[in-house]
Structure 1
Amino acid sequence: MAKWDNMLSMLWMLRSGRKLTAAQIADSLEISVRTVYRYIDALCASGVPVVAESGHDGGIRILESFKETPLFFNSVELKALVDAFKFAQGAGYPYVQELEFALKKVENGLHEEQRHDLSRQQSSLDVVSSARAPSVVPLLRDLEQATKDGGTVRMVYRKANAEQADEREVDPYGLAYDRNEWYVVAFCHRSQAMRTFRVERIERLESTEARFDKPESFSASAFFCEQSNQRREADGPLTVIRIEGQPDTLNAVCNHWHLRHYLTERTDRDARFLIDAPTMNKYLPTYLMTFGTAIRIREPLELKRRIQKMAYGIAKHYEDDPD
């Protein structure tokens, strides 16, 4: 068991109110008596009032005035906290400042040795932030508040490549971070259907007096997955698709907004998907052709032959072109 886990276990033992000898603690934690006394010194330095009484009725105990358990983290846990903060910054998380304050509070509550561990983690990993409009953070906060309060919002939204923005009222059900972009999943009053809107494309947002009830079981991530399932051409048996390629190329294939929901297994040079044959035949040949010789279809044979036929048709189309 790690040092900090042992210290926390010892603290819980002492908080039971019983007096324990160093030998009893050492036997329970399978450590030496000398280590027990080192842990007592560390707990005292962390502000825990540990008292060691000698004599026949003596033992180790904690004063009744003690209320709060100090935080004990190992170096990997501290690294995870710091890295999580960096990833939140890179994603444009709307409460990154509050997260930084929380991390500072954790740091202030650490033992000196733990603070040293935390400081050593500061430069080990960096996350390159995506360029985002400054307006995205307040939009995310307002949308999340509307989601929590069940308040309909009015927004001015510009679709991709649209010349003009349009105004609509929506009931925001949830936010999702997908492919380095923030989306709000909402019920659109104009279309009377669920829609996804890229937050970066919202030009103006304001609350209204209208209220809505969000389904208790709603999940933004499940909605994204459901959207992909709706693009399937047929229900029924699924076909195994196996694609080989270089890691970077496979990353591009596996991160495709539609394909990634059907990924079942992935190695550095191999990816497997499960998808129905009609959907495979309709969408995959054209998409996979764009990777040229950077990938190789290992199965099914049907998909391989469709791509061969398509490639032959393209070659045939250009073979008689004049120079």
Structure 2
Amino acid sequence: MAKWDNMLSMLWMLRFGRKLTASQIADNLEISVRTVYRYIDALCASGVPVVAESGHDGGIHILDSFKETPLFFNSVELKALVDAYKFAQGAGYPFTEELESALKKVENSLHEEQRQDLSAQTSGLDVISPARPPFLTAALRDLEQAAKEGRTVRIVYRKANSEREEERDVDPYGLAFDRNEWYAVAFCRRSKAMRTFRVDRIERLEPTEGRFEKPEGFSASDYFRDQTEQGREAEGPLVVVRIQGLPDRLNEVCSHWHLRHYLTERTDREACFALDVPTMNKYLPKYLITFGTAIRVLEPPELKRRIQETASGIATHYLDETD
């Protein structure tokens, strides 16, 4: 166990105010008594009032003036915090500045040896951040605040592949980060229905005087799952769809917004899904054919046949054009 992990363990042993002897601490941590006293000196240097009293009623304890024990983390916990910050930053999390400030406070409480170890442990992981519009952070903050306050916002939104902007009043219920994009789940006043809006496609956003009450217990992730379930064509027995392919191409299939909820098993070269037959027949032939020969459907035979028919229809279509 690293030195500061032992120091943390010793601190937690002493935090309840009872006195312990150096031998008791040494036995518990499987270290020497001499090391215990070195740790006491280090804790005192860090501002923890550890007292070692000699005599019959003596022992090691923390002064009562030390009422609020600050948070202490072991080396792996510290690494996890820094790595989590990197992922949040890469995702475009709108409060990365505040998160960085909190981490600085934690790091400032470390002694030099801990800082050096933390730097070494976290230097091997980086998260490559995609380019994001400058407006995104402000929009995420404003949407989250509107959801918190129950305030309707007016957005100017541009759909994918659309040249025209649309202005809508929406009640933002929550935000979700999915497939490397941020989405606002909101009730659209114009369509009088729940909708999802990609936040990077919101070109302008402003609060209105309108108010709303968010449904109790609303969850954006649950909403996404419910939408997937509603996309099913039929209830009843499910069929196993087994697909073989290169890892990177299988990753694309498995991360598809609809299919990923039906994934049941995944290996390096194969993926299995459980879908009802009508949903499979309606969506998969046209989608899977876009991967060409990079993937192969192993089962069921019906799906293989429908992909063959789709490919044959495409070939015939272009054959007619060349005649």
TM-score (norm 1): 0.92
Pick which of 175-184 and 306-315 moved more: 306-315
Deviation at 1:242, TM superposition (A): 1.5
Deviation at 1:53, TM superposition (A): 1.4
Assess if the C-alpha contact under 8 Å between 2:8 and 2:74 holds in 1. Answer: no
Deviations 1:56-79 (CA, angstroms, capped at 9, x unpaired): 222111111113324433333222
Tell me which amino acid in the other structure corresponds to 1:268: D
Going from structure 1 to structure 2, the CA distance change for 1:46 and 1:265 (only over 3 Å counts) comes to farther
Assess if the C-alpha contact under 8 Å between 2:156 and 2:204 holds in 1. Answer: yes
Assess if the C-alpha contact under 8 Å between 1:70 and 1:110 holds in 2. Answer: no
Deviation at 1:122, TM superposition (A): 5.2
Give the structure 2 partner of residue 100 of structure 1: 100
Going from structure 1 to structure 2, the CA distance change for 1:280 and 1:153 (only over 3 Å counts) comes to same
Give the structure 2 partner of residue 22 of structure 1: 22
Q: What CA distance in whole angstroms lies between the structure 2 residues aligned with 1:41 and 1:289? A: 68
Going from structure 1 to structure 2, the CA distance change for 1:299 and 1:25 (only over 3 Å counts) comes to same
Give the structure 2 partner of residue 262 of structure 1: 262
Tell me which amino acid in the other structure corresponds to 1:304: K
Deviation at 1:180, TM superposition (A): 1.8
Ranges in structure 1 where 5+ consecutive residues have no aligned partner:
none
Deviation at 1:234, TM superposition (A): 0.4
Give the structure 2 partner of residue 88 of structure 1: 88
Pick which of 313-322 and 182-191 moved more: 313-322
1:78 aligns with 2:78: yes
Assess if the C-alpha contact under 8 Å between 1:140 and 1:199 holds in 2. Answer: yes
Pick which of 181-190 and 155-164 moved more: 155-164
Secondary structure in structure 1 of the residue aligned to 2:159: coil
Tell me which amino acid in the other structure corresponds to 1:246: L
Assess if the C-alpha contact under 8 Å between 1:72 and 1:110 holds in 2. Answer: no
Tell me which amino acid in the other structure corresponds to 1:54: S
Deviation at 1:233, TM superposition (A): 0.5
1:49 aligns with 2:59: no
Count residues in correspondence: 323
Deviation at 1:319, TM superposition (A): 6.3
TM-score (norm 2): 0.92
Q: Percent identity?
A: 77
Q: What CA distance in whole angstroms lies between the structure 1 residues aligned with 2:286 and 2:216? A: 39
1:128-277 to 2 correspondence within 5 Å? 128-277=128-277
Give the structure 1 partner of residue 111 of structure 2: 111
Assess if the C-alpha contact under 8 Å between 1:73 and 1:114 holds in 2. Answer: no
Q: What CA distance in whole angstroms lies between the structure 1 residues aligned with 2:7 and 2:75? A: 15
Q: What CA distance in whole angstroms lies between the structure 2 residues aligned with 1:99 and 1:322? A: 61
Q: What CA distance in whole angstroms lies between the structure 2 residues aligned with 1:3 and 1:301? A: 61
Give the structure 2 partner of residue 293 of structure 1: 293
Going from structure 1 to structure 2, the CA distance change for 1:35 and 1:237 (only over 3 Å counts) comes to farther
Deviations 1:111-169 (CA, angstroms, capped at 9, x unpaired): 32211122324532222222121111111111100001111111222222333212211
Tell me which amino acid in the other structure corresponds to 1:291: F
Give the structure 1 partner of residue 11 of structure 2: 11
Ranges in structure 2 where 5+ consecutive residues have no aligned partner:
none
CA RMSD of aligned residues (A): 2.1
Tell me which amino acid in the other structure corresponds to 1:278: P
